[in-house]
A and B are shown apart, each in its own frame.
Chain A
Amino acid sequence: MSFDSILLTIFQRLHGERSAQGVYHILRGKKSGQTLQDVEYYQVKSYYALLPHLTASEFQQALERMQADDLIYINELVYVTAKGQMATGSEMWRFNGWNYRGLEREFARRLALLVQTLSNLRSGETMFMPIQKELPTQQFIKGFLRNQSSSMISLSTSLRKELEYVFTHSSLSDLQCTIVSGRLTGYKLTGSTWEQMADRLNMSVKTIQLYYLEALHMLLDYLQHHPNLPLLSELAIGCRVDTYLTQSAERTQKLFERGYSVEQIASLRNLKLSTIEDHFIEMAANMESFPYKEFITEEQRDTVWRHVEQLQTKRLRLLKQQCPELSYFQLRLIIIIGRRES
């Protein structure tokens, strides 16, 4: 797994319909309508906000490297070359950028501080320099420990058991277990820097960091569905994005639930119809039970997707030429909810 192969994967999904800048915004998690729509359309939600701290120059360097290696070709838009397609590889990432958006790092900080604290306390060491300096993290762990009733020693053992359990059950690779545990610091045992891990594992720093990030997402995904790990679940509180709708869209949703139509909501809220339609697109993208059948039929859905496949594009203007009877709103909705499961 490398940064380049992630970029290639995203470029391929966007098949030449977006600029490099668009991909940069996706990786950094820009909260603009265009970016949010892009991640839906091109099904790259898992990469959204994957690298909130990616710098423009890092990104630029990667692009230049990939152009020099003839993996991509940029002419305003980005195209993946045949060589690039070969190089993309078939590895399936299990990132979940959409749900965590950088918050997984807070989980990692909490875990690091809790492990260090318990490791020292169980060894009878009460004075140590906290490995995490951020005040909110420190306060969280303080509160966390205050709420525990068992002794530090048994707490420590329980945490170890939970970690072992989640490592083996969340389908982390052995390498990922090594990386995640290798970052932890405790009594007389300090975590490794990225460089040290890179030397030891004979891989690049960037690659190791990506495996680490993926592992955090996998751990958090597992915890989300398995509440039987009380300590880790508590550490994960607030590390998942819980409201995906913008505030304005949420208000539109409430009115819709009370039975108002798109047009009624627009006039009630004194907003443009197109704005309200944007809210519906947002809802369709984020709610599993969005009642799309109130706006389109399954036949219309199939027809549009047939065109998408034939033309190999999701560009609305081209699709509108094929299906002039559908509104742009309906077309966007059909793209967002995806093709019918056959």
Chain B
Amino acid sequence: MELQEVLYQKFGYESFRPGQQEVITELLAGRDAVAIFPTGMGKSLCYQLPAYMLDGTVVIISPLVALMEDQVANLRKHKEKRVVAINSFLSRQEKELALSTLAQYKFIFLSPEMMMQPSVRQLVQQLHIAFFVVDEAHCISEWGFDFRPDYLRLKELFSDIERAPVLALTATANDKVVEDIITYLHMRNPHIERQPMDRPAISYSVMHLNNELAKTEWIIKRLATTIGPGVIYVASRKRADELSAIIRERGIPTASYHGGKEQDERSIIQQQFVQGELEWICATNAFGMGIHKDDIRQIIHEHLPATPSAYIQEVGRAGRDGEKAAATLLYSERDIQKVKFIVYEDLPDEQQILYYHSLLQSRTPCQLAAEQAGLSEVASRLLDYYLEQYDVENVVRQIQQIYQVKEKQIAEMESYVKSDSCLREKLVQFFGENTLPAETDCCSNCQNLDEDWLIKSEISTEREVEALQWRDRLLQLLG
């Protein structure tokens, strides 16, 4: 079958998005590839489509359970039954069942820790594998914004001479990160497909405000006069709840979304947002993955994201339908301090490292040692990994390097909010790209924003969802 035909029959699309066809062709030819596609620009299709043109299983290593579940759900939605996700959330029984029937699946999703379990690894290696996919591949690099030590262990996996091709996927990677991906995954002369970071549909603004109160007021006014659907990213769960209550009081359908909510609630909120029953979501960075909504018109950041990558990913959730969207970052002077505090909290300092190390030397159990040294869970996992590889002086040096990376990323964000030149240009430069300011609707510094399209028409007021009587509700649901 022709590529185009499969695209239409399996996925219902008439044509490829930029870059997809190139990546797929490389994979089909048996070569490795790195695909750097901005969020929402059709990354997943790069492995889903060739899976149907090759014999054998596709093994996808994915670092986040939520992401994994979402991709599984998405495949099932497209009538694919031969798909399984194996992660630490499965019960022992479920895991055993999945592993004993591994060969019958076309798509196998694995978390890195599962993949590296010797028994699992052995079973996977017995399969006839079409190719491997490493999703969110930037996590393998300590230059990446969410480095995951687990991921580094994948190094061992792809060093075999005879192995199936590897496809590394990521939404964000500068040259340094790409270099790390290629080295650590033992990729052989891979094809690198980089889609531009710049999203012409999105316009960028930075608003300087005096304090948190001024931000709240700005948001209230903005939401009263401009259209959704939109997402407001905030710094904490508590703030998400608080702000969403404030907005709801103004009669605008809004909900908060964060990791502290029970799963049922999160499902309902996602569904309502996708269906258009909710206009705004106040969210922590837990929101985004797995939201399939093309018509998000606004992204507002009430806090300063810690890295340009995080910012560009969150902003990239807007305007996937290609229509105009607006990204606004609200900034006040103390935000830099706040974000530093949050970022460095998870990073051990020299004293902590030495103390932790000495505790381990005297055979204190890991968990206890971490507690005594005042390490967060993230920090102790990081240290455990490094201490396995290097002596303690080198570990200190490594951590200092990470510290410098994070410091640099925060400095980049600082230079972004304080810039007086084109924001679009500035943002993509952090990823080693160049772009020209857009002629219209570029950014607040280019001063060519025409926001008429954003203005709420007076007619769309108060569309209170009328509460159905329970009998009517059942009837409407089930007939």
> Taking CB as reference atom, which chain B residue is nearest A174?
B470
Is the Cβ of B476 less than 8 Å from the Cβ of A193? no
Count class of interface residues, chain A: 35 or more
Determine if A185 is an interface residue (Cβ-Cβ < 8 Å): yes
Interface 9-residue window, one of A58-66, A131-139, A241-249, A283-291 = A131-139
Q: Within the assembled complex, what's the spacing in Å between the Cα atoms of A115 and B469? A: 17
Q: Is the CB of B474 within 8 A of A160?
A: yes
A182 close to B473 (CB less than 8 A): yes
Whether, in the assembled complex, B211 has its beta carbon less than 8 Å from a beta carbon of chain A, the answer is no
Q: B365 to chain A: which residues have CB within 8 Å? A: none
Check if A195 sits within 8 Å of B255, measured CB to CB.
yes
Do the beta carbons of A181 and B474 come within 8 Å of each other? Answer: yes
CB-based contact A157/B478 at 8 Å? yes
Which residues does chain A contribute within 8 Å of B277, judged by CB atoms? 190
Residue of B nearest to A181 (CB): B470
Assess A133 versus B473: contact at CB under 8 Å? Given A160-B479, A195-B255.
Answer: no
Name the B residues within 8 Å of A189 (CB-CB). 473, 476-477
Instruction: Tell me the chain A residues, 103-119 only, with Cβ under 8 Å from chain B.
Output: 109, 112, 115, 118-119
Q: Are A185 and B474 in contact (CB under 8 A)?
A: no
Q: Is the CB of A190 within 8 A of B473?
A: no
Residues 70-105 of B at the A interface (beta carbon under 8 Å): 73, 77-78, 90, 94
Stretch of B228-236, B266-274, B303-311 that contacts chain A: B266-274
Asked if residues B268 and A191 are in contact (CB atoms below 8 Å), the reply is yes
Determine whether the beta carbon of B73 is less than 8 Å from that of A193.
Answer: no
Q: Within the complex, which residue of B90, B255, B271, B471 is in contact with A185, where a contact is CB–CB below 8 Å?
A: B271
Of the listed residues B264, B275, B477, the one surrounded by the most CB atoms of chain A closer than 10 A to its CB is B477
Cα–Cα distance between A136 and B275 once the two chains are bound (Å): 26
CB-CB contacts below 8 Å: B230-272 with A: 248, 255, 263-265, 267-272
List chain B residues, Cβ under 8 A from A19. none
Instruction: For A157, give the chain B residue with the smallest CB separation.
Output: B479
Given known pairs A167-B470, A181-B470, A200-B467, the reply for A131 and B271 (CB within 8 Å) is: yes
Structural contact, A192 and B77, CB atoms closer than 8 A: no
A contacts with B: majority SS: helix
**How many inter-chain residue pairs (CB < 8 Å) link A and B?**
94
B69 within 8 Å of A by Cβ?
yes
Interface string of A22-44 (1 = CB under 8 A from B): 00000000000000000000000
Q: Which of A8-16, A72-80, A122-130, A307-315 contacts B (4 or more CB under 8 A)?
A: A122-130
Are B268 and A129 closer than 8 Å at their CB atoms?
Answer: no
B475 nearest CB across to chain A (Å): 7
A130 to B72, alpha carbons, bound, how many Å? 11
Cβ 8 A contact of B477, one of A115, A194, A199: A115
How many positions in chain B have a CB within 8 Å of any CB in the partner chain?
32
Contact residues of B: prevailing secondary structure: helix
User: Which residues of the other chain, A, contact B78 by a CB distance below 8 angstroms?
Assistant: 127
Known pairs A132-B267, A135-B90; A127 contacts B77 (CB<8 A): yes
Please report the C-alpha to C-alpha distance between residue A190 and residue B479 in the assembled complex, in whole angstroms: 16
A178 within 8 A of B: yes
**Which chain B positions have C-beta within 8 A of A183?**
264, 268
Contact assessment for B474 and A164 in the assembled complex, using a CB-CB cutoff below 8 Å: yes
Contacts of A135 in B (CB 8 A): 90, 94
Residues of the B chain whose Cβ atoms lie less than 8 Å from the Cβ of A134: 263
- Chain A residue nearest to B256 (CB atoms) is A195
| Chain B hits for A186, CB < 8 A | 476-478
CA distance A177 to B479 in the complex (A): 17
Q: Say whether, besides A188-B275, A190-B271, A129 and B77 are in contact (CB < 8 Å).
A: yes
- Would A193 and B255 count as touching, CB distance under 8 A? yes
Q: How far is the CA of A323 from the CA of B339 in the complex (A)?
A: 69
B271 touches A159 (CB 8 A): no
A276 is an interface residue with CB less than 8 A from chain B: no
Task: Identify which of residues 454-479 in chain B touch chain A, using a CB-to-CB cut-off of 8 Å.
Answer: 467, 469-471, 473-479
Contact call A187/B477, Cβ cutoff below 8 A: yes
Q: Closest CB of chain A to B129's CB: distance in Å?
A: 24
Query: Smallest Cβ distance from A181 to chain B, in angstroms?
Result: 4
Q: Are B470 and A153 in contact (CB under 8 A)?
A: no
Complex CA–CA separation, A181 to B474 (angstroms)? 7
Chain B residue nearest to A154 in the complex (CB): B479
Known interface pairs A191-B268, A192-B268, A199-B248. Does A133 touch B478 (Cβ–Cβ under 8 Å)? no
Query: Are the CB atoms of B474 and A163 closer together than 8 Å?
Result: yes
Collect the chain B residues with CB atoms within 8 Å of residue A153's CB.
479
Q: How far is the CB of B239 from chain A (nearest CB, A)?
A: 16
- Say if the beta carbon of A88 comes within 8 Å of chain B: no
Contacts of A333 in B (CB 8 A): none
Indicate which residue in A122, A133, A180 contacts B69 across the interface (CB closer than 8 Å): A133
Flag whether A184 is at the interface (Cβ < 8 A).
yes
Shortest CB distance B12–A (Å): 10
Q: Which residue of B lies closest to A191 (CB)?
A: B268
Q: Say how far A29's CB is from chain B's closest CB, in angstroms.
A: 18
User: Within 8 Å of chain B (Cβ to Cβ): is A156?
Assistant: yes
The smallest beta-carbon distance between A54 and chain B, in angstroms, is 13
What's the Cα separation between A196 and B477 when bound, in Å? Answer: 19
How distant is the Cα of A118 from the Cα of B479 in the complex, in angstroms?
A: 10
Are B478 and A190 in contact, with the CB atoms below 8 A? Answer: no
**Contact status A160-B475, CB under 8 Å:** yes
* A261 vs chain B, min Cβ distance (A): 40
Known: A135-B90, A178-B470. A130 touches B73 (CB 8 A): yes
Tell me the complex Cα distance, A181–B263, Å: 18
CA separation between A307 and B152, bound complex, in Å? Answer: 70
- Residue numbers in B under 8 Å from A130 (CB-CB): 73
In the complex, A81→B277 CA distance in Å?
47
Interface bits A184-227 vs B (CB < 8 Å: 1, else 0): 11111111111110011000000000000000000000000000
Q: How far is the CA of A138 from the CA of B388 in the complex (A)?
A: 41
Instruction: Report the Cα distance A119→B476, complex, angstroms.
Output: 9
With A115-B478, A122-B479: A190-B268 Cβ-Cβ less than 8 Å = yes
What are the residues of chain B within 8 A of A157 when measuring CB–CB?
478-479
Known: A135-B90, A177-B470, A193-B265. A160 touches B69 (CB 8 A): no
Show 14 residue pairs from A and B whose CB-CB distance is below 8 angstroms, ordered by the A residue: A112-B264, A115-B477, A129-B271, A136-B94, A156-B479, A160-B474, A160-B475, A182-B467, A182-B473, A185-B268, A186-B476, A190-B272, A190-B277, A195-B255
Which residues of chain B have a CB within 8 Å of any CB of chain A?
A: 69, 73, 77-78, 90, 94, 248, 255, 263-265, 267-272, 274-275, 277, 292, 467, 469-471, 473-479
Query: 3 tightest CB-CB pairs across the interface, nearest first?
Result: A160-B478, A186-B477, A181-B470
User: Other CB < 8 Å A-B pairs besides A131-B264, A194-B265, 13 of them?
Assistant: A112-B264, A129-B292, A130-B73, A132-B267, A153-B479, A186-B478, A187-B477, A190-B275, A190-B277, A191-B271, A193-B268, A193-B272, A200-B467
